[in-house]
Amino acid sequence: MEAKQRMEERIWAYMDGLLDGKEKAAVEKLLITDPAWKRCHDSLRDLDRTLHSVSLEEPSMRFTKNVMDQITSLQVAPATRTYVNKRIIYGIGGFFLLLITATLAYVIPQLDFSQTSPQQFPVKLPSMEFDWSRYVNPTTLQVFFILDAVAALFFLDRYLQRKKTGWQSGTAK
């Protein structure tokens, strides 16, 4: 069974023109000398010819007209390359590269490779003496949650409006 499959695989590759000169010659020799190869080749060639001659499916008679009707109100969008500014992309890339380089430049000189204890972190991190309580308190949290709720309602409203428009245009078709 496996031998038959390998034979078919090579015959298909031969018919598709995917074999190099040496392999092609080997298959051609087998097709002349081996009746099993010849039979298989004839059967696959019949299928190949049939597949080439199979007709395509027909769309509706109005297909082209429908497409042309729909594009009359549309414009070809400007090419992506005209509105994607490469300088911005390179700028963002450069910023992150600089950030990584600066972090490494700060961390690597501080590494103590003689340190053996896993308990102690080998890099001394800068101390952050910052009074968070001045900014994070119940009032700011309440304001934050209210703003979140307003934003959520705003986006929900926009989403529902878009859906409504979609339904209306769907029924209008």
Partner 1 sequence: MSLDLTDNEIIARVLRGDQQAYGQLVGRYQHYVFTLAFRLTQSREDAEEIAQDSFIKAYRSLADFKGGSKFSTWLYTIAHNTGITFLRKKKLPVQSMDEEKNFLQLENQESGFQSNQVEEKSKHQMVNQAIAMLSAEDAQIITLFYKADQSLQEIGQVMGLDPNTVKVRLFRARQRLKEKMEVYFREEVANLQST
Please give the residue ranges that form the binding site for partner 1 (CB under 8 A).
5, 8-9, 12-13, 18, 44, 46-47, 50-60, 63-64, 66-68, 70-72, 74-82
Q: How far is the CB of 54 from partner 1 (least distance, A)?
A: 5
Are residues 122 and 112 in contact, defined by beta-carbon separation less than 8 angstroms?
Answer: yes
DSSP one-letter string for 67-84: HHHHHTT--PPPPHHHHS
Nearer to partner 1, 49 or 87 (CB): 49
Query: Phi then psi for 131, rounded to 5 degrees?
Result: -90, 95
Nearer to partner 1, 74 or 105 (CB): 74
Q: How far is the CB of 11 from partner 1 (least distance, A)?
A: 10
Nearer to partner 1, 59 or 94 (CB): 59
Nearer to partner 1, 35 or 138 (CB): 35
Query: Phi then psi for 172, rounded to 5 degrees?
Result: -70, -20
What CA–CA distances, in Å, run from 100 to 17, 88, 104, 112, 168?
A: 51, 19, 6, 20, 51
Q: How far is the CB of 59 from partner 1 (least distance, A)?
A: 4
Q: How far is the CB of 118 from partner 1 (least distance, A)?
A: 44
Residue with tokens 């590269």: 97
